[in-house]
A and B are shown apart, each in its own frame.
Chain A
Amino acid sequence: MTYAGVWTIAEARDGALRQVSFELLTRGRKLADKRNTTLSSVVLASGISDETVRELIKRGADRVYVVDDPALAHFTAETFSNVLVKLIDTYAPEIIIAAATTSGRTLMPHVSMRTHAGLTADCTDLDIEEGTGNLLQTRPAIGGNILATIKTPEFRPQMSTVRPRSTKPAPVDASRTGEIVRLPFDPALRDGRVRRIGFKANEGEEVDIQSADVVVSGGKGLKKAENFALIRELAEKLGGSIGASRDAVDRAWIGYPHQVGLSGKTVTPKLYVAAGISGAIQHLAGMKTAETIVAINSDPDAQIFRVADYGIVGDLFEVLPLLNERLSREVGSK
């Protein structure tokens, strides 16, 4: 079989595409152009309109494969894997890129085993090797202490997941044209072994810290739960989400979904602010790859300063109120 073309796996929820779908197109377009081939997006969803999926074309896809069925309304590994494996068997893409989300990080390994494909998780950089045309995948490992470059010379397809927010969404070009291919859902691919029977949405504050542009985190230096108000206020002013160290989570000052680090979430925001966090290696593992890092800590030797782009050695109970007040004035004077 000859494998050709680059695919991105779009993500949809409630009939709308998630932003990460457009970020994947930025990656995919670059690779497809270098390989001199076409870029296709795959949409597995329920109740998604042509108008909605056309945005993928306007943002860089040449073709969109849509499988639309109520069985695909919510992600379950088995059914999604069945459908994707069938598509791969039919169309034989050379490269598949998916988002390193809770669903992408589940679907892709499931599929890669069945197709005996190479899969590299959480890539920060993707490129095409001169000469061979192989996909070069770069990813952090050992808690961000190394960057490994990986390729898949003999097996196809070559698959990667990339972190949300690690690239900009591809811009809209209204003049772009492409093809929408709607494929029927084969009921035999529906696997009923896992049923989604409930959902509890995050309440109140935004905890989808992995897709936030700005994350403001607090640690043990905050001393007690009420003082998270300082973090909340700063997050609000910067339009960000709230993160925390494990020590703050273990003291129940804030819920586990906010935990950043080795046993929590890995975030790659544009701006990460750490206040009263020492910067233990397990915390750094979850935020080291942020574009810009700001640290506030009273201990000049705190490890967090080693990764900071701007650090203030001082008392957070003095610095944060000053900062919040300055930001109120900034916003007010605009």
Chain B
Amino acid sequence: MNIVIPIKQVPETSNVKMDEKTGTMVREGVESIINPLDLYAIEAGIQLKDRFGGTVTVISMGPPNAEKAIREAIAMGCDGGVLVSGREFAGSDTWATAYALSESIKKIGAFDLILCGERATDGDTGQVGPGIASFLDVSLATYVSRIVETDEKEIVVERLIEDGYETLAMRLPALVTVVKEISYPRLPTLRGKQKARKTAVPVWAAAEIGIDAAKLGLNGSPTRVVKIEMPKVTRGGKIVPAPDEESAVRAVDGLVDFLKSKDFI
């Protein structure tokens, strides 16, 4: 089974600092990591490869240093990776990104399955995975929590939806976006890291892929960001100490009054 996993390098955001004036993220001293939600896809891909053979190739579109994310994925157990990079891709929205990635995946060659994280933790759109499936015209399932079984022709997956889990039988090739429940990502091994250092990671620009540059970057992107604002961080709510039973009773009374004032009771 040949698997392709598009991954994104994102800023490590567990301690996001925002520049209050510009409304942008302070990037200094912030490490870049593989989008944490992509790790579940990588783990699921490696497990499928372990069971059925084949290869797992990661692909990332981003700046030159996104190569680090690809090497990390190889260190976890992926076989190889491709970096799609060049100035012509800058400013791409989800349309242009999904287009560029789908054309790049065509160039990688025949595949059975594409696995994606549910969304990236910076952009938060979750649109690129379904977008790639649309461009490549392959079967699509999102929010997949379990791979039930697979053979050469079909993959059966469980999908987490609002009112339960639905089971879908999908003809291959297919694209699946996964949620955390699907796997517990492994850590890179020492041997994996050695392999990652030795593996060549080709860098493809638009010319190499042979894509229409008019559909890339800002030119190809229908959407424009016109304003960035920072929502207020603290709500300045009422915080009531309740160190003992007496104060706890008072705090609870206060809470009940608060809930009543808001019509929750």
Contact = CB atoms under 8 A, between A and B. Distances in A.
Interface of A: 13, 74, 76-78, 81, 101-103, 105-106, 108-114, 116-122, 136, 140-155, 193-202, 208, 210-211, 214, 238, 256-257, 259, 262-264, 270-271, 280-282, 285, 288, 292-294, 300, 305-315, 318-319, 322-323, 326-327, 330-331
B32 interface: no
B199 interface: no
Interface of B: 13-16, 18, 23-25, 36-37, 93-95, 98-99, 121-131, 133-135, 139-143, 145, 156, 159-171, 179-181, 221-231, 233-235, 237-243, 245, 247-249, 251-256, 258-259, 262, 264-265
B241 A323 contact: no
Nearest to B227: A149
A192 B258 CA distance: 53
B222 A113 contact: no
A208 B163 contact: yes
Contacts of A264: 180
A201 B163 contact: yes
B125 A121 contact: yes
B131 A110 contact: yes
Contacts of A309: 235, 237-238, 258
B14 A102 contact: no
Contacts of B223: 118-120, 150-152
Contacts of A308: 235, 237, 239
A323 B255 contact: yes
B141 A319 contact: no
Given A81-B134, A208-B162, A327-B265, A149 B225 contact: yes
B127 A121 contact: yes
Per CB-CB distance, the 5 closest pairs between chain A and chain B, nearest first, are A314-B242, A118-B222, A198-B167, A155-B222, A109-B127
Contact of B241 (A144, A210, A263, A314): A314
Given A116-B95, A141-B123, A145-B25, A110 B252 contact: no
Contacts of A110: 130-131, 133-134, 140
A110 B139 CA distance: 11
A288 B234 CA distance: 10
A92 to B, nearest CB: 16
Contact of A146 (B170, B229, B258, B264): B229
13 contacts: A102-B159, A111-B134, A121-B126, A142-B16, A145-B18, A146-B231, A194-B169, A238-B264, A256-B160, A309-B238, A311-B238, A314-B241, A315-B242
A199 B164 contact: yes
B216 to A, nearest CB: 13
B237 A199 contact: no
A194 B130 contact: no
A302 B236 CA distance: 14
A77 B137 CA distance: 11
A151 B226 CA distance: 7
B234 A306 contact: yes
B235 A262 contact: no
Contacts of A201: 163-164
Contacts of A319: 242, 248, 251-252
A194 B221 CA distance: 30
A108 B231 CA distance: 27
Nearest to B221: A118
B20 to A, nearest CB: 11
B252 A322 contact: yes
Given A105-B126, A153-B224, A201-B163, A282 B134 contact: no
Contacts of A238: 259, 264-265
Contact of B93 (A118, A153, A154, A311): A118
A326 B14 contact: no
Given A288-B231, A313-B241, A314-B251, 9 more contacts: A77-B130, A109-B130, A119-B127, A145-B13, A146-B228, A201-B163, A210-B162, A294-B255, A309-B235
Contacts of B131: 109-110, 112-113
A334 B128 CA distance: 51
B237 A281 contact: no
B224 A150 contact: yes
Contacts of B255: 294, 310, 312, 323
Given A81-B134, A113-B131, A199-B164, A312 B252 contact: yes
Contacts of B237: 293, 305, 307-311
